[in-house]
Amino acid sequence: MTIEILLASKSPFRAALMKNAGLAFKAIEAKIDERAVEATFNGSGATPEDIALVLGEAKALDVSSRYPDALVIGCDQTLSLEDEVFHKPADMDAARRQLLKLSGKTHELNSAVVIARGGAPIWRHVAVARMTMRALDPGFIGRYLAHAGEAALSSVGAYQIEGLGLQLFEKIDGDYFTIVGLPMLPLLAELRKTGAIDG
């Protein structure tokens, strides 16, 4: 019997990773208020990894409650610099301020993936990539954002490593899949273990 795989995400980048890996799946957007879920952590001492896991799990559970027989993959990513957690910039001014804060420093991308079935989580994983941004001149940041356009607002760091954003970095510790937001190798291993894909 074939096990249906659902991706609880509207991200074209995550969908492309799964498609390129040869997975047969459908993307079903989760209906959760991410900021409301995250607000429950205020003052709790939760780590950025914890927040990414809870958000990924909330997405997986939302879709799993509607499709209980499917394996539902939920994922989320947080960007943290020391104690501060960043979100997708609301506009170009926010993107500029964010890049100025990240300039010359090492931040972490915390990518969580959760599999749910029957409305319950059955597997969780978080992978971390450490991203060292080179010292950026404010003028260069302005030119970069003008060239990147609205795409800069679709990523938590105001950059997309698979494109122009690569020019912002001097060092990266972590795999490409973690940076894009879906740790594929552990996910594929778990899907093989469950029998959802051939192994």
Q: Which residues are catalytic?
A: 76
Instruction: Label residues 3-42 b or e (16+ Cβ within 10 Å = b).
Output: eebbbbbebeebbebbeebebebebbebebeeeebbeebe
Q: Please give the DSSP secondary-structure letter assigned to residue 158.
A: S
Contact assessment for residue 125 and residue 177, using Cβ atoms and an 8 Å cutoff = no
Tokens 């509607």 locate to 66
At 24, the amino acid letter reads A
Contact assessment for residue 8 and residue 73, using Cβ atoms and an 8 Å cutoff = yes
Contact assessment for residue 52 and residue 156, using Cβ atoms and an 8 Å cutoff = no
Contact assessment for residue 96 and residue 38, using Cβ atoms and an 8 Å cutoff = no
Contact assessment for residue 75 and residue 109, using Cβ atoms and an 8 Å cutoff = no
Q: Return the closest-CA partner of residue 98 out of 110, 87, 106, 109.
A: 87
